[in-house]
Structure 1
Amino acid sequence: MKHTTFVTRSRGWLWLLAITLMAGSAFADETCQSPFLPKVTGQEDYVYVWTLGIKGVGDGNDSLVTVDVHPKSKTYGQIIHRAPVPGRHEAHHAGFTDDRRHLWAGGLDDSYIFIFDVASDPARPKLVKTITSFVKDTGGLVGPHTFYALPGRMLITALSNANDSSGRTGLAEYSNEGRFIRTIWMPKEAPYGYDVRVNINLNRMLTSSFTGKKNFMRPLGELIKDTEAMKEFGDTVVVWDFHARKPLQVLQVPGAPLELRWALQPNHYYAFTAAALAHQLVLIHQQEDGIWAARSVADLGDTLPVDISIAPDDSKLYVASFMDGKLRVYDISNPFEPKLIEQIRVGETANMVSESWDGTRLYVTNSLLSKWDKPGDYWLKAYAWENGKLVHKFTTDFNSVGRAHLMNFGSKALRAKSE
């Protein structure tokens, strides 16, 4: 495995300039989106929630649920639309295409992919295409997880494979129209996969690692008692040459490093991840010689960190913890020494957390996986910073529609731009 070399910064700045010139500023977005999406700011109108269906609740199907989140709206905090898909597929993650006209959403169980039109009527997304051939297309990848926009393409991480349902897996690329392009298997030294994030300024891509289908589709209580199964979790972050899609380094990050979040300021050459089983906040940083390193910078306590979100100015990092239902806020002004500055208990469990681009609003959901969730209510909760404190703004009850999972932001302005 080759080590990284210093990237030419001027070339990176040209990429950033190109993206900036393409960018609009009419609608809002969470900070974790691909840099190839239009740069977005301001007040979001909608939160799209990819939602797991529950047997016996309504039609029981997975669905894309639209919640009105504009404070001046008469339906603020309410579900205003639901776009169901046929059946239950372990709805999990979703992501926009680079033109933001479509949202791709995946099912971890049967590897179905659902494509929604979110531009024609942003308040009422419409299912326009279903891809049922992901496993066949990709040569055996299973469990599409992260949907990450590239120019004209969708980059998809998978969690498993069709041969033995272990964590050996890879990445797939499709065109925006849904045509399969290629599969990139994870390196033998680091066969597990989970999240993917790109830093275009550095020409670097990071991938993290989780576990295979035979683990994530088992009841959690049963799984944690199986000593051998608990050994089959990833412990690596891979650093890639983004343009070549070639692995350059394998970093050891014990304990299933999950979501990856690059620092957003152009002179910050680092990213964060949270190792779920090791309860550690980990800094992935570029050293002066250009080589990348991983370093644990905070102990998150006896919990299960499942999602993180970074502030747009790289001042804060939010960590959602599943088992204790807490949202922790860290001051990361010094990324090597994060400081816990606030924590709130949002519920019995907490899962996904998304922050607005202006750094003032947060949204949290509480469903993780159908066989890992605790019995109870399902919801979307909104918070806002007021006088230096996180203040609860509303709770949207999801019990009549399913288990609220991943969030993406939408805006009325998108329709205006498309017309």
Structure 2
Amino acid sequence: MASPDAKAAPAQAGACCASETKDATTDLGSGGFASPLEAMERPREKLLYIPAVLKKGGDQPDYLATVDVDPSSANYSQVIHRLQMPEPGDELHHMGWNACASCTGQPGRPVHGFLVAPGVLSGNIYFIDVHSEPSAPCLSKVLHAAELAEKVGVALPHTSHCLPDELLVSFMGSRNSDGGLEAEGAGFVRLDPRTLEVLGRWECAGQWPRFGYDYWYQPRHNVLISSEWGHPDCFTRGFNPADVSEGKYGSKLYIWDWAKKSMIQEIDVGQGSIPLEVRFFHDPDKAVGFVGCALSSELRRIFRRPSTADGEEQLLWDTECVVKVPPVPVEGWCLPEMPALITDFCISLDDRFVYLSCWLHGDVRQYKVYDDGREMKLVGQVFLGGLLKKGGPVRRLDGEEAPEPLVVKGVEIQGGSQMLQLSLDGRRLFVSTSLFSSWDLQFYPDMASRGAQLLQLDVDTEKGGLKLNHDFLVDFGTEPFGPALCHEMRLRGGDSTSDIWL
């Protein structure tokens, strides 16, 4: 096990091809898989990677934590390695891969071999080698914010996906000459998957969304669909309800022609709805996706419908609400009603189940999928904290009983269910409790001083149902660099949100 302060020196720029010497037929992270159903048959995951975010203004940088998730291991449910970034202040958030199923079989691109880890606030993008030594990742290259600003005019990187021949990263804005944050510049940047150099903007010149956030693509249906969080000068400071009424938070999905790289539709999903994560069914034949709308607490289905325009029959994209989590009337909070705040969701690889996290209410929900997602039946629910728990400052006024505070291994869970990651076989759902440091500090101030947690739920994949695994807990409140906030997870060898099949 590496020492807590282990810090890897950046490798040379060409290091990403060093892993060609690995045997792709035997290494779990290299071979890829031809279909979602084949992926479900892969061996059980043994390692999990998750970013740990430290206090703003401190002298310790964020780091990538490697967690042992093998129940037969003596180090099960422990952080076994910490890879610190070169400097403080990144706000590591979401991560992607240099190659996924869409890149299987390409020389020099081991599938799930390198993590792409953007720092939202610093603007740097880190490329982390988890292929050479999976239990002790090392930093391979840094793409600095100054270079991205100079070449393509962007800042605040968020989502990265591997394309068959490129990497594509979404950005949520730019910095002005005074260093302030602007929404202008939101969009997408192409990177070379081997040299990791900037290739340029992806979208056609001048076709930029109002705000940026997440996206999903599916060439089989000639589409990329992106979402929007809000103006970066607002969401980076925390949440102010007045900003919603002033139009500073998102309400739109942007539909892009994949081949032409041009915006062809805008879909408004409701004023102040804040559409965040976008994901499609894993079966590439299905032209169906979903978006989780945080503030309106809706899961909306994205689909195509026939339309007649200019006398011609064509297919247009549309959305419909398939899950609505009602707000709870409360006292002791900033508003008279508390939304669930759906901040993440994931889909099982066989497209049979959808999982939602409700960060403010604190619960994880499991839905059985019927009729291509037109109908969702709630079949599992577990509360993992949240603001509605007993003994807290918020009191619910709807007559429903508040859940007890969750204690695992003697640790009271801070925050609420937030990021989700599902194992390839769909039997283990990992849950972290931190959203974004400024929002954590605002809504769960104790989490800043006590740290966030990583939990695991066991999933009934036949009838449906969720059960907390009381043997698994990673408490980031006891980390050697001080209490940390943990966010999106990646599983060694792939997970339910990594791969896009073509």
Normalization by structure 1: what TM-score?
0.84
1:18-417 alignment, distance < 5 Å:
27=28, 41-54=42-55, 60-85=60-85, 86-98=87-99, 99=109, 100-132=112-144, 133-163=146-176, 165-168=181-184, 169-176=186-193, 177-184=195-202, 190-220=209-239, 223-226=240-243, 231-254=247-270, 255-288=273-306, 289-302=314-327, 303-334=340-371, 335-348=373-386, 349-373=416-440, 374=444, 375-376=446-447, 377-386=451-460, 388-393=464-469, 394-401=472-479, 402-411=484-493
| Counterpart code for 1:54 | K
Distance apart, 1:339 and its partner CA? 2.0
**Offset of residue 173 of structure 1:** 0.9
Within 2, Cα distance between the matches of 1:226 and 1:101? 40
Q: Aligned equivalents of 1:404 and 1:34: distance in 2?
A: 31
Shift of 1:192: 1.6
In 2, distance between residues paired with 1:354 and 1:224? 29
| One-letter amino acid of the structure 1 residue matched with residue 252 of structure 2 | T
Q: Distance in 2 between matches of 1:297 and 1:117?
A: 39
Segments of 5+ residues of structure 2 without an aligned counterpart are: 1-23, 100-108, 307-313, 328-339, 387-415, 495-502
- d(CA) in 1 for partners of 2:468 and 2:221? 37
Question: What is the deviation of 1:307?
Answer: 0.6
Tell me the CA shift for residue 188 of structure 1: 5.6
Partners in 1 of 2:164 and 2:81 — Cα distance? Answer: 29
RMSD: 2.8
Whether the 8 Å CA contact 1:112–1:134 is kept in 2: the answer is no
Tell me, yes or no, if the aligned pair for 1:52 and 1:90 is still in contact at 8 Å: yes
Q: Distance in 1 between matches of 2:161 and 2:79?
A: 26
Alpha-carbon distance, 1:403 to partner:
0.7
Report how far residue 225 of structure 1 moved.
4.6
Please give the per-residue CA displacement for 1:79-124, whole angstroms capped at 9, x wherever unaligned. 1110011212111111110133211111111201111111110011
- 8 Å CA contact retained: 1:28, 1:357: no
Name the CA shift for 1:82/1:180 in 2 (closer, same or farther; >3 Å).
same
Aligned length: 382
Offset, 1:142: 1.5
177-186 vs 59-68, which deviates more? 177-186
SS at structure 2 position matched to 1:399 = helix
In the alignment, the residues of structure 1 paired with residue 468 and residue 44 of structure 2 have an alpha-carbon distance, to the nearest angstrom, of: 17
Residue 184 to residue 265, structure 1, CA distance change in 2 (3 Å): closer
Unaligned runs of 5+ in 1: 1-22, 413-419
- Letter of the structure 2 residue corresponding to residue 331 of structure 1: K
For residues 142 and 92 of structure 1, what CA distance do their matches in structure 2 show? Answer: 14
- Mapped partners of 1:331, 1:28: distance in 2: 30
Structure showing greater Rg: 2
CA contact (8 A) 1:160 1:211 kept: no
- SS of equivalent to 2:326: coil
Alpha-carbon shift at residue 358 of structure 1 (Å): 1.3
Tell me the amino acid that sits aligned with residue 396 of structure 1: V
CA contact (8 A) 2:357 2:365 kept: yes
Paired with 2:219 and 2:356, the residues of 1 have a C-alpha distance of 25
Structure 1 residue aligned with 2:106: none
Q: Which residue of 2 aligns with 1:18?
A: none
Counterpart AA for 1:192: F
Q: Deviations over 1:292-341 (max 9, x none)?
A: 11112221222111111001111111111111221111222231222222
In 2, the alpha carbon distance for the partners of 1:147 and 1:404 equals: 18
Write 1 or 2 for the structure with the bigger share of strand: 1
- CA distance in 1 between partners of 2:262 and 2:467 (Å): 44
Aligned counterparts of 2:464 and 2:318: Cα–Cα separation in 1? 33
Query: 1:25 Cα shift?
Result: 9.4
